[in-house]
Structure 1
Amino acid sequence: MNRALKAAALCGSALSLIAVAGQAQAGGFALREQSAYYQGMSFAGNATTGPSISSMFWNPATITGAGEGITFESHNSFIVPSADLDATFTRGAIPWIGSGSGKTGDIGSDAWIPASYNAYKVNDDLFVGMSITAPFGLATKPSPDWSGKWYNRSSEVFSVNFTPTIGYRINDMISVGAGIQIQYLQVRLKSAFPLSSTAQNAEVKGSDIGFGVTAGVTVKPMEGTEFGLGFRSAVSHELDGKYIQPAGVALPSGTPFPAMTTGITASTMTPEMVTFSVKQRVSDAFRVAGTVEWTNWSRLGTIHTKPKSGTASTPDLKFNYNDGWFFAVGGEYDFNEKLTLRAGLAYELSPIDEKIRSARLPDNNRYWLSAGLSYKVMENMSLDLGYTHIIPEKTKINIGPGHQDYNPAVGRLTANVDANVNIFTAAFRYRWGGKL
């Protein structure tokens, strides 16, 4: 099989890695878990070149760090979240909605998040490749009969992103890269319908394919020092879906009305992201790295759903997030020719605060503690392992007067959130025609 056929086979095998992305583990509903290699350093240095081409997710210029021949990487993240809401609900004006309190049970869902990367060195200066990732995802599902079911029964966001990439090494100091994002996004939100006396679900769902770009540059001003700057653009989506409303009773007349299903559209946009990283070699065996990342979550305001026909009343989806920030430092040490050890820590400023925090996504600022290793099985094959423990800051939900989700006819929801996350990652890296 020639190299071109091998590359096609690798892209085909990567398609089999697509799976539902679960509980979001970056600010908002983004998924940071795109690399087992960089997971071990809390993603410090993830926009600079290194042994793993997974850095091309954040900075496409880093594809120029790939060696001779064809490189293939399969990264797998296993997320084990724990999030329990100790909630109190005080009913509003609707008579059949009862007050209540108690715990929701674990609202997070364990998840497997795959990612794959391919790179081909065309010549000494030109590189091409492809990544298949899941940059956004969310799955929260409290107990169906919890007291705050009127504000959330389940929430799901799923994405798949294909990014063909090209990189060019201008000289020994500067490399540039760019890519095209082809992104599928699906959203599905459920809550108990307040005008249904039996608490049947109302549901909003929709999906779309959108397009965006990536771009980046790496600069090596001196031997052992590297700076990387990467950009992932916003991706615009025109969600096409349905609003499903169960039968209910009009208030105050008490007149019953039938169930309704209507086609809807909704315009939304996933946020752009800018990542800046630095890496410094301290000795032949030891390197330190850092990353600062900004995500433009503030572009995600209120999403207005519109019926495709008729004048049916359909709900708006209120986000109104702030911008998100992520700061990481880490290092790695070559224990010997085969084994490399790494560790890192990070602090993340969530785009969600108590003013807008919802029962769908009780996100908050968080600390990341990570460790990992790489083991070179053969000259052209390596394995990566990573582990992260995430500790959120003290988190409260207060959906009452002044909150964007508050409905006085439904009632007030307050809750204390007890959460933590464990992430286990593993990757397989292989190269045809050269050494890793």
Structure 2
Amino acid sequence: MQHVHRFTRLSALALGITGALAIGQVHASAFQIKENSVKAQGRSYAGSGVAKDDASVVSNNPATMAQFKGTTFQADVTVIDLGFEFTGGGYDAIGRPITGGDGGDAGDVIPVPAMSFIHKFESTGIAVGAQVSAPFGLKTEYEAGWVGRYYADKSDLKTVDLTLSAALDIIPDRLSVGAGLVYERADVTLSKAVDFGALLFGQLPPAQRPFAPSFARPQGADGHAEVEGDDTGLGWIVGVNLRPTDKLAIGLSYRSEIDHEIDGNVTWTVPAPVRATLDSRPQTSPLFRNGGAGADLTTPSVTTVSVSYQFTDKFQLLADYSETGWKSLQQINIDFDNPDPNSIEQFRWDDTRFYSIGGEYKFNDAWTFRAGWAFDETPTTFATRTPRLPDEDRTWYSVGASWQATQNLEVSFAYTYLDVSNPQIGLTEGGHTLFGEYDATINLYGVSAKYNF
């Protein structure tokens, strides 16, 4: 019983903690969110680190801030419309089909805001900037009693980054460097059902199992576990912007890993007959009590190369290549405040790559149009994919436009359709199995405003 309890309890907390922190920069691979710029979204983030008219370079490549003039303020909002619909089933510990529906549409509509500020000191060649963004996040919620309830029912992740950066012109109009500090806060609430009947059933000797009461059989006494956790961490970013000719720009940026010490709490809802049974046995009476827990985790690094080439006064072509170091999430070690022993949760994620290409066409003094394509890898595999993160490789198709409303004010729009390969699930945990496929849809809608003082 102790082993089964530890597995269930630690698994719930592990999903909560790693859900909050297993993220690098929703929507790139895993929980990574790139949506800190509507203009960049319109190009599928091609050239994100060399865009000299996009204040999001505070976080994407601070070296490019040296190309700005005066003071710039930019506000972006991207609405992520997620759809995750499951088709499949499962079996309990004695081979019976798990009851419940398909969970409905587990996705949600999530607004992702960002605000950026850059000021250039012309006499010194120094630029400073700040950005507040929500680089990590997820919200999925399944209908109560769905077939996968023992793996997940609600996942709600929120993160906020404050990035403070500075840049310096080394060779005016040709070479600049930049660096910044990243202050990151993450909050998470996740929950799932717990099959206490299966736990009690597994504790009985085989000869007694046919005579077990209904609440001591698989699916006979569902309870609930909810995990909450939060933490803050510090990281850094560095970048270089090289412009060997008036037409060509090359950017390189590196965002560091960020170490977190998560503080979390687990809240249990235990059916009355189960609690009475546990409390009557000295070896199980301390189990499933509310309490605290924690874990040390490291979020991945992100390395990005950006290129732009100005073919004519009206048209430029841009590209991005980035690599996210998801191998930093091979496993986590969870430590409980109560006497329960530590547990190690395996993730075995791989590093991922993001490729994008896009173009911009300046139609006239008022309008600029853009479009882009990208391919984004997932760090998950069939063996590691869960209902909290039904993630797969995805292809981006983006369009966007900017309108120069006045001499100082520019308004931008973007739309992106993400074509996601149908994620498949095949899990075994605590005697349960879950298998099936997701129909995933993702649409991004963005609007931003930039004002130059």
Paired with 1:120 and 1:80, the residues of 2 have a C-alpha distance of 34
- CA pair 201-101 structure 1, distance change in 2 beyond 3 A: closer
Q: In structure 1, the residue corresponding to 2:56 is in which secondary structure?
A: helix
TM-score scaled by length of structure 1: 0.87
Residue equivalent to 1:104: 103
- CA pair 389-329 structure 1, distance change in 2 beyond 3 A: same
Paired with 1:26 and 1:341, the residues of 2 have a C-alpha distance of 23
1:345 lines up with 2:373 in the alignment:
yes
1:98 deviates by: 5.7
Residue equivalent to 1:17: none
Residue equivalent to 2:424: 396
Contact between 1:53 and 1:65, CA under 8 Å: does it hold in 2? no
Paired with 1:315 and 1:35, the residues of 2 have a C-alpha distance of 39
Paired with 1:66 and 1:301, the residues of 2 have a C-alpha distance of 40
- CA pair 115-164 structure 1, distance change in 2 beyond 3 A: same
Residue equivalent to 1:414: 435
1:355 deviates by: 1.6
1:370 lines up with 2:393 in the alignment:
no
Name the aligned partner's letter for residue 111 of structure 2: W
Residue equivalent to 2:335: 306
* Aligned-pair Cα RMSD in Å: 2.2
Name the aligned partner's letter for residue 202 of structure 1: A
Name the aligned partner's letter for residue 268 of structure 1: L
The residue correspondences of 1:309-324 to structure 2 (distance < 5 A) are 310-312=338-340, 317-324=345-352
Q: In structure 1, the residue corresponding to 2:103 is in which secondary structure?
A: strand
Residue equivalent to 1:16: none
Instruction: Provide, for residues 95-123 of structure 1, a one-character-per-residue CA deviation record: whole Å limited to 9, x for no partner.
Output: xx862364221111110000010011122
Q: Percent identity?
A: 29
- CA pair 144-315 structure 1, distance change in 2 beyond 3 A: farther
Name the larger-Rg structure: 2
Paired with 2:150 and 2:101, the residues of 1 have a C-alpha distance of 15
Residue equivalent to 2:245: 222
1:386 deviates by: 0.5
Contact between 1:89 and 1:101, CA under 8 Å: does it hold in 2? no
1:318 deviates by: 4.2
Residue equivalent to 1:379: 407
Contact between 1:163 and 1:180, CA under 8 Å: does it hold in 2? yes
1:421 deviates by: 0.8
Contact between 1:159 and 1:186, CA under 8 Å: does it hold in 2? yes
Residue equivalent to 1:286: 315
Paired with 1:311 and 1:246, the residues of 2 have a C-alpha distance of 20
Q: In structure 2, the residue corresponding to 1:61 is in which secondary structure?
A: helix
TM-score scaled by length of structure 2: 0.84
Q: In structure 2, the residue corresponding to 1:57 is in which secondary structure?
A: helix
Structure with more strand by fraction:
1
Q: In structure 1, the residue corresponding to 2:66 is in which secondary structure?
A: helix
Name the aligned partner's letter for residue 419 of structure 1: A
1:204 deviates by: 2.3
Name the aligned partner's letter for residue 413 of structure 1: L
1:259 deviates by: 4.9
Aligned match for 2:66, one of 55, 61, 64: 64
Residue equivalent to 2:296: 267
1:317 deviates by: 4.7
Name the aligned partner's letter for residue 312 of structure 2: S
Contact between 1:86 and 1:102, CA under 8 Å: does it hold in 2? no
Paired with 2:421 and 2:105, the residues of 1 have a C-alpha distance of 18
Contact between 1:87 and 1:148, CA under 8 Å: does it hold in 2? no
Residue equivalent to 2:262: 239
1:407 deviates by: 2.5
Residue equivalent to 1:296: 325
1:315 deviates by: 6.2
Instruction: Provide, for residues 52-77 of structure 1, a one-character-per-residue CA deviation record: whole Å limited to 9, x for no partner.
Output: 11123221111112212x21000000
Residue equivalent to 2:163: 163
Name the aligned partner's letter for residue 347 of structure 2: F
Paired with 1:322 and 1:104, the residues of 2 have a C-alpha distance of 29
1:130 deviates by: 0.5
1:246 deviates by: 2.9
Paired with 1:430 and 1:155, the residues of 2 have a C-alpha distance of 36
1:177 deviates by: 0.4
User: Which deviates more from structure 2 when the two are superposed, residues 296-305 or residues 412-421?
Assistant: 296-305
Paired with 1:208 and 1:362, the residues of 2 have a C-alpha distance of 25
Residue equivalent to 2:53: 51
Paired with 1:318 and 1:117, the residues of 2 have a C-alpha distance of 37
Structure with more helix by fraction:
2
Name the aligned partner's letter for residue 297 of structure 2: T
Residue equivalent to 1:173: 174
1:117 lines up with 2:141 in the alignment:
no
Q: In structure 2, the residue corresponding to 1:104 is in which secondary structure?
A: coil
Residue equivalent to 1:192: 193
Paired with 2:298 and 2:400, the residues of 1 have a C-alpha distance of 34
Name the aligned partner's letter for residue 122 of structure 1: F
Q: In structure 2, the residue corresponding to 1:82 is in which secondary structure?
A: strand
> How many residues in Structure 1 have an aligned counterpart in Structure 2?
399
Q: In structure 2, the residue corresponding to 1:92 is in which secondary structure?
A: coil
1:324 deviates by: 1.5
Contact between 1:41 and 1:331, CA under 8 Å: does it hold in 2? yes
Contact between 1:244 and 1:260, CA under 8 Å: does it hold in 2? yes
1:195 deviates by: 1.4
